[in-house]
Structure 1
Amino acid sequence: MVRKSRAVSASRPSSRLKTASKTGGKATDVELQLGKRIAALRAAVGFTLDRLAADAGFTKGYLSKIENSKVIPPIGTLVKIAQVLNTDLAALFGNNMPDAANDEAICVVRSWERETAIRGGSSFGYDYVALAHKRHHKQMEPFIMVFPSEVDKDIRFEHEGEEFMFILAGKVEFEAEIGGRTKTWILSAGDSAYFDAEIPHRGRSLRGESQALVVIYRSRSDETATD
């Protein structure tokens, strides 16, 4: 039986998919290999670049830049790609070699084992540290996210599923577009937000280094099985 992920709806206008220029520092090993892994996983399921672009709701040119490591996309984009390829972020980030940790019912990641998945300098200013990268085929993707102080006014993020955000430190301005109108909340340490991730959203730091625990949930009901 072959599983196929349900095609995700087209994303917002292309201005929201602008590439972010890399700023300073070397790219992480994960970032350097990300494009190659996406290309390999796409080929493994028999998808052309055109097919992946159509199903994920991005342009072929944008996906080509990702596969050729010319742009490092945000987590929301990677979630869409993983959904269409019927995989999870662990595979995109390179944790695709089975080991004992992946097979255990409980996945424990020590503080020193955390992996920086995407750095702010190349992902619209946001840092993402993976918290459950050892576990495959999971329905939740937990991260520690560090907010930038400035975000391009045209940038919003949206993807299928649900998202939970718990502010760990600092103060965050959180925006979401609901019914064509922008709503804004100021969130401090201890505050949280739970929302439909298809709602265009973004956040920026208002004070110091603002961090949040972010959990992205994708229901397996989003997938359909065909013979």
Structure 2
Amino acid sequence: MSNKRLLKEPTQARTVELPDDPEEPISEDELAVCRRVRALRTERGLTLEALAAKSGFTKGYLSKIENGVKAPPIASLAKIGRALGQDLSSFFLDEGATSPDQEDDARISVVHHWERKPVTRGGTAFGYDYVSLAHKRAHKAMDPFIFTFPSRVDVDQYFQHPGEEFIFVLSGKVAFEVVINGNTRTWTLEAGDCVYFDSDLPHRGHSIDGDAQAMVVVQERSEQDETAAGA
């Protein structure tokens, strides 16, 4: 989910970037992600200005990420990754991920429950918490997370990013919204319910009456897929 505000008009919706929120301290796991953004950018010989032009984010926002001032939402990372030619998992890899001494076969990644990797906390990502479930494997077609919904969201805050997304509610109750052709559709999802959707549709969700968690699987759409879809 990327940090966009949806401004509703009579017949359509458009998005603009959110203004910066007050900075909050971020965790060591989030700092590792921020350092990874800088490392991948410098490996490719890109300046902040060049990455800003390719990703659509401002130089100032990217600088705050790289300096550990802001932890970006997952979909913002996906957008930065696309600009760097990297998939989302590149930001969460442990050192030695998928190496022979960790796994018998790089095609298999086992993550025990005590090995789960928190990557984004609610306070720094608009109320949404993510825990990566496949951080050991590089170059994945899908990125699975355990996701904790906030109890409330900004009235104008929606998220969208290229690709597809699957959400399976594990516990609690969720109000889930998707904007289609300028019209907002809302569903109440309970434990055991699920939704599969194109994540370039503006979307958001929040818990109802207590905590709610879900398994979220994000599949990024390649540039070739987008070209084919638009053909």
TM range (shorter): 0.7 to 0.9
Counterpart secondary structure, 2:70: coil
- Offset of 1:94 from its aligned partner? 4.5
How many Å separate the matches in 1 of 2:120 and 2:95? 17
- Aligned residues of 1:32 and 1:69 also touching (Cα < 8 A): yes
CA deviations over 1:159-202 (Å, ceiling 9, x no partner): 11100001111000111111122221111111111111111111
Alignment partner, residue 54 of structure 2: 55
Alignment of 1:171-190 (within 5 A): 171-190=173-192
- Offset of 1:36 from its aligned partner? 2.0
> What is the aligned length?
210
Alignment partner, residue 26 of structure 2: 27
Alignment of 1:32-47 (within 5 A): 32-47=31-46
Counterpart secondary structure, 1:107: coil
> Which amino acid counterpart does residue 77 of structure 2 have in structure 1?
L
CA deviations over 1:40-78 (Å, ceiling 9, x no partner): 101111222122222222222211211122111111111
Alignment partner, residue 5 of structure 2: none
Going from structure 1 to structure 2, the CA distance change for 1:38 and 1:161 (only over 3 Å counts) comes to same
Counterpart secondary structure, 2:52: helix
How many Å separate the matches in 2 of 1:18 and 1:27? 15
Two-structure CA RMSD over aligned residues (Å): 2.1
User: How high is the TM-score relative to the length of structure 2?
Assistant: 0.83
- Offset of 1:88 from its aligned partner? 2.7
Alignment partner, residue 13 of structure 1: 16
Q: Which has the higher contact order (CA 8 A, sep 6+)?
A: 1
- Aligned residues of 1:147 and 1:205 also touching (Cα < 8 A): yes
Alignment partner, residue 151 of structure 1: 153
How many Å separate the matches in 2 of 1:144 and 1:20? 26
Counterpart secondary structure, 2:15: coil
| Equivalent residue in structure 2 for 1:122, among 121, 124, 128 | 124
How many Å separate the matches in 1 of 2:55 and 2:225? 13
Alignment partner, residue 7 of structure 1: none
- Offset of 1:28 from its aligned partner? 2.3
- Offset of 1:127 from its aligned partner? 0.8
Alignment partner, residue 218 of structure 1: 220
How many Å separate the matches in 1 of 2:106 and 2:169? 30
1:168 aligns to 2:167 (yes or no): no
How many Å separate the matches in 1 of 2:177 and 2:22? 20
How many Å separate the matches in 2 of 1:189 and 1:18? 34
- Aligned residues of 2:116 and 2:132 also touching (Cα < 8 A): yes
Alignment partner, residue 4 of structure 2: none
- Aligned residues of 2:175 and 2:188 also touching (Cα < 8 A): yes
How many Å separate the matches in 2 of 1:38 and 1:222? 25
How many Å separate the matches in 2 of 1:19 and 1:94? 27
User: How high is the TM-score relative to the length of structure 1?
Assistant: 0.84
